């Protein structure tokens, strides 16, 4: 856990200092708090390594990018579950809410439990003001869980960052490439993907 702790961003540390939260959440306790109403939608938090982290308000370009990404993958992969801003249960007491995931389809639509690492094919985070955390704490959580593909659709820098080959011991991805709006990249799961199919663009 030492290597993972070092990857926490200063935004997370500041958030903890401001709130004074020292409580450690296990996955079981966190889910129970949601079920009994102790934590609700109005709390707007995610769980990373036993710590509940406040979610930042979503700006319109971010929301547009999430909607565009979901629409794109729903059309390309109708036989998979495309989820946006819903929980994924990972290891190390982490339960983030990625902006988008491509997961195995289930007839019950994950009625009894959230998707886990074995269900998820690709995790996608949309980044504007959250890019530091997306590149550090979230990358660590996804790599430790063995998520094979992690993408950051970086609205602020107008690029897509693709992370492959997770190292489950160190919590980092061994392969990383970023792509500009004019480029197309090859995903092990999704095949050829044009960056402009994911980044939000101005109409007209």
Per-residue model confidence (pLDDT) at position 108: 95
Q: Is residue 40 part of a domain?
A: yes
CATH number of the domain encompassing residue 145: 3.90.1570.10
pLDDT tens profile 55-83: 877 788 899 999 999 999 999 999 999 99
Q: DSSP H helical segments within the chain, as ranges?
A: 2-6, 10-19, 27-35, 60-76, 131-135, 137-144
% the chain with pLDDT above 70: 88
pLDDT at position 18 over 60? no
Q: Is residue 41 part of a domain?
A: yes
Q: Is residue 42 part of a domain?
A: yes
The DSSP output letter for 56 is: P
Q: How far apart are CA 118 and CA 29, in angstroms?
A: 22
Q: Is residue 96 part of a domain?
A: yes
Q: Is residue 203 part of a domain?
A: no
Total domains present in the chain: 1
Is 147 in contact with 166 (CB distance < 8 Å)? yes
- The domain in which residue 80 lies consists of 2-197
Task: Report the predicted TM-score, pTM, of the whole model to 2 decimal places.
Answer: 0.84
pLDDT tens profile 78-109: 999 999 999 999 988 999 999 999 999 999 99
């Amino acid at each position: 856990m030492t290597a993972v702790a070092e990857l926490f961003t200063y935004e997370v540390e500041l958030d903890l200092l401001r709130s004074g939260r020292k409580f450690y959440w296990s996955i079981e306790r966190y889910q129970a708090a949601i079920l009994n109403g102790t934590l609700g939608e109005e709390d707007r938090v995610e769980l990373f390594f036993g710590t509940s982290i406040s979610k930042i308000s979503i700006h319109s370009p971010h929301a547009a990018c999430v909607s565009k990404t979901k629409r794109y993958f729903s059309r390309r992969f109708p036989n998979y579950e495309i989820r946006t801003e819903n929980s994924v249960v990972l290891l190390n007491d982490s339960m983030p809410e990625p902006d988008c995931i491509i997961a195995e389809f289930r007839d019950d639509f994950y009625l009894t439990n959230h998707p886990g690492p074995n269900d998820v094919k690709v995790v996608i985070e949309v980044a504007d003001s959250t890019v530091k955390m997306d590149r550090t704490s979230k990358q660590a959580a996804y790599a430790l869980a063995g998520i094979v593909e992690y993408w950051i659709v970086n609205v602020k820098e107008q690029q897509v960052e693709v992370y492959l080959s997770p190292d489950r011991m160190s919590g980092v991805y061994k392969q990383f490439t970023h792509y500009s709006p004019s480029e197309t990249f090859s995903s092990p799961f999704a095949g050829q993907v044009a960056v402009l199919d994911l980044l939000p663009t101005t109409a007209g």
